[in-house]
A and B are shown apart, each in its own frame.
Chain A
Amino acid sequence: MESVIISGLQQGLIYGFMALGVLLTFELLGFPDLSVEGTFPLGAAVTARAVVEGVDPLAAVFMGAVAGGIAGAATGIMHTKLKVNNILAGILTATAIYTVMLRTMGRPNTPLLAYDNVFGQVLGWFGQAESQASIILILAVIVMAARVLMGWFLSTDLGLAVRATGSNERMIRALGVSTDTTKMLALIISNFLVGLSGALACQAQGFADVGMGMGVLVAAIASVIIGQTLFGKSKLSIVLTGVILGSIVYRAVLATALRVGLPAEDFKMITAVLVLLALTLPNIALKGRVDSLMPGLLKGINGNNAKSGYRPESVADMGRQEVDR
């Protein structure tokens, strides 16, 4: 049980950065950015090479994140300037990154256990020894910092323009915003976070591998969905914190599956089933039945979808003070 919690927390926090990034593009910008399958291992590869070259681990992690952001910009340029379809632009970036990683590391895999890692470095500043608990504490602090920064950014004038690009692109263009710019910006921020996630992952596991990006996107989407299913999506602040908690829950479930003896080759199937359940269960099984017995009970969980908030039948009710949600 204890190992499940530790593993869930550590992995969940590391992948929480990625979940935040994926939330920004997929959910808020409405841009299904597939480049993340490439920018995650790219962050790891760049960090690994830098560490091997003797760069300070903290600087190396930062370089990994910046590499992710640059790759995000590549996707953005392909989509906004060259008018490539958004999904294809992401696939092209992810494909090209494979070569970049091999060139960066010189081989498909770089072991890092012989080098100092960023956790030991940072803990050393505070005179702490490296332990599972202390690593989790550091991760929790920086993921919350990222969460707060993201929440702040999304409430600024620029952040509002980014969100509106996802919500109503035509409207925000009519208000004088270049949506090419907002899309570029969101892709850079998102892939910076994904690159950071990959960089921290390679530091925690002690190696970087060109294949470590496989399946990370579905894990991030699962985190977003689990977060929204468990904690609701009525407010942006809840959604932002929710995806990080969702990432922890997701990793804990995987760790539990491993613990009860499910073979590792079944993981991808478990992941797919988990995402499907998280997506559909609240809608079908729970909501349908519980609503018929106790109407309104599940509203906080899955009923308050602002996307479906427009109700043409209520046009006649103009001027009402209250909305019966």
Chain B
Amino acid sequence: MIELQQITKLFFAGTPNEVKAIDNINFKAKRGHFVTIIGSNGAGKSTLLKAITGVVPVDSGSIKLEGTDVTNLPEHKRAREIGRIDQDPMASTAGEMTIEENLAMAYLRGQKRGLSCAVNRKRTERFAEVLKDLGLGLENRLEVPVGTLSGGQRQALALVMATIARPKLLLLDEHTAALDPKAAGLVMSITRRLVESHGLTTLMITHNMEQALKYGNRLIMMHRGKIILDISEEEKKKLSVPDLIAKFTASSGSAFNDDRVLLA
């Protein structure tokens, strides 16, 4: 469960360029909920996820993860409970290191790292097992540097890395945006499978309206640092992309202006 209370974040505070990236947001997602987040450019979606991970410190408000206040914890201390993947396929894996080395690092998410051998047989057996579920044949290529994989393969591996240590929260920031449609579809189906099998609380930003409607059991829409729409699973099922655009225009009083948004 993730709970945000009155979170506010200003950029360039006190200057003429001051931006309210997050404006007094209250939000709560129950354990196992898969929430999709959409919104126009500069709505504060990514800042919101960065505030939760601790990359961006908030100005005020509190962040609770499974009941524990993590507002003032540094990023690396929150990491034990939070798995995350960014848009850039290079960002969530270490390209110079092998698949098994990447997995070994993720395996110890948030734990103390000592001088025992990182890649041992017990671990590689486990890695091969989880990779096999992806159906990409990566289990036969454990000793290959991740830099030689395609973007889609890297994001699929990143998903396994984000979930292998069973975090309490999974944050996805447009993790399929840099992929072609085929790879994006594959990564999304892997996402759904992993989220459901682990019962993970998940927040997923997407600029793909159809994806936002198709996946997850709740949809929120952000505009200028605020949550302007919160749509439940039942309501979401009945919506089409044009309905969603119409709702946005009605709630925000402005046209939907994401230059990358996919309406189809």
Known contacts being A164-B105, A317-B150, is A310 close to B118, with CB within 8 Å?
no
Query: Would you call B76 an interface residue if the criterion is a C-beta within 8 Å of the partner chain's C-beta atoms?
Result: yes
Tell me if A323 and B106 are in contact (CB < 8 A). no
Chain A contacts with B in 276-325, Cβ cutoff 8 A:
306-312, 314-321, 323, 325
Tell me if B93 and A173 are in contact (CB < 8 A). no
Max chain B CB contacts within 10 Å: which of A158, A308, A318? A318
Q: What is the size, in residues, of chain B's interface with A at 8 Å between Cβ atoms?
A: 57
- Top-7 shortest CB links A-B: A309-B147, A176-B79, A176-B110, A167-B94, A318-B152, A157-B113, A315-B151
Among the listed A167, A171, A172, A176, which residue makes an inter-chain contact with B80, where contact means beta carbons less than 8 Å apart? A176
Contacts of B144 in A (CB 8 A): 323
Q: Interface digits, B168-189 against A, CB 8 Å rule (1 contact, 0 not)?
A: 0000000000111011001000
Among the listed A167, A174, A314, A321, which residue makes an inter-chain contact with B79, where contact means beta carbons less than 8 Å apart? A174
Contacts of A157 in B (CB 8 A): 104-105, 108, 113-116, 118
Complexed CA–CA distance, A179 and B113 (Å): 12
16 additional A-B residue pairs with CB within 8 Å, beyond A167-B96, A309-B147, A315-B150: A155-B117, A160-B97, A160-B105, A161-B113, A163-B94, A167-B95, A167-B97, A168-B91, A175-B109, A306-B147, A309-B148, A314-B150, A315-B152, A318-B136, A318-B150, A319-B136
> A residues touching B (Cβ–Cβ < 8 Å)?
153, 155-161, 163-164, 166-168, 170-179, 306-312, 314-321, 323, 325
Tell me if A306 and B113 are in contact (CB < 8 A). no
What are 27 of the A-B contact pairs (CB < 8 Å)?
A153-B115, A156-B113, A163-B94, A163-B101, A164-B105, A168-B93, A168-B95, A171-B92, A172-B94, A174-B92, A175-B110, A175-B161, A176-B76, A176-B79, A176-B80, A177-B76, A177-B79, A309-B149, A310-B89, A310-B90, A310-B151, A314-B151, A317-B150, A318-B150, A321-B137, A323-B148, A323-B149
Query: Would you call B207 an interface residue if the criterion is a C-beta within 8 Å of the partner chain's C-beta atoms?
Result: no
A324 to chain B, nearest CB (A): 10
Query: Would you call B135 an interface residue if the criterion is a C-beta within 8 Å of the partner chain's C-beta atoms?
Result: yes
Tell me if B105 and A172 are in contact (CB < 8 A). yes
Query: Would you call B33 an interface residue if the criterion is a C-beta within 8 Å of the partner chain's C-beta atoms?
Result: no
Tell me if B115 and A158 are in contact (CB < 8 A). yes
Contacts of B136 in A (CB 8 A): 318-319
Chain A facing B: main interface SS: helix
Contacts of B74 in A (CB 8 A): 178
Contacts of B89 in A (CB 8 A): 310, 315
Tell me if A316 and B91 are in contact (CB < 8 A). no
Complexed CA–CA distance, A314 and B178 (Å): 12
Q: Give the A-B pair count, Cβ closer than 8 A.
A: 146
Tell me if B147 and A310 are in contact (CB < 8 A). yes
A58 to chain B, nearest CB (A): 25
B29 to chain A, nearest CB (A): 20
Query: Would you call B53 an interface residue if the criterion is a C-beta within 8 Å of the partner chain's C-beta atoms?
Result: yes
Tell me if A156 and B145 are in contact (CB < 8 A). no
Tell me if B109 and A176 are in contact (CB < 8 A). yes
Complexed CA–CA distance, A156 and B92 (Å): 21
Complexed CA–CA distance, A322 and B13 (Å): 51
Of chain B, the residue at the smallest CB distance from A156 is: B115
Contacts of B109 in A (CB 8 A): 175-176
Complexed CA–CA distance, A315 and B137 (Å): 15
Known contacts being A156-B115, A161-B113, is A316 close to B148, with CB within 8 Å?
no
Chain B contacts with A in 226-259, Cβ cutoff 8 A:
none
Complexed CA–CA distance, A273 and B10 (Å): 52
Chain B contacts with A in 138-156, Cβ cutoff 8 A:
140-141, 144-154, 156
Of chain A, the residue at the smallest CB distance from B77 is: A176
Contacts of A321 in B (CB 8 A): 137, 140
Among the listed B79, B115, B186, which residue makes an inter-chain contact with A318, where contact means beta carbons less than 8 Å apart? B186
Query: Would you call B75 an interface residue if the criterion is a C-beta within 8 Å of the partner chain's C-beta atoms?
Result: yes
Tell me if B182 and A318 are in contact (CB < 8 A). yes
Contacts of A153 in B (CB 8 A): 115
Max chain A CB contacts within 10 Å: which of B89, B146, B151? B151
Contacts of B148 in A (CB 8 A): 306, 309, 323, 325
Query: Would you call B119 an interface residue if the criterion is a C-beta within 8 Å of the partner chain's C-beta atoms?
Result: yes
Q: Interface digits, B50-74 against A, CB 8 Å rule (1 contact, 0 not)?
A: 0001000000000000000000001
A154 to chain B, nearest CB (A): 9
Tell me if A161 and B105 are in contact (CB < 8 A). yes
Contacts of A158 in B (CB 8 A): 113-115
Contacts of A319 in B (CB 8 A): 135-137, 153, 186
Complexed CA–CA distance, A167 and B93 (Å): 9
Contacts of B145 in A (CB 8 A): 306, 309
Complexed CA–CA distance, A321 and B135 (Å): 11
Tell me if A315 and B179 are in contact (CB < 8 A). yes
Complexed CA–CA distance, A252 and B108 (Å): 45
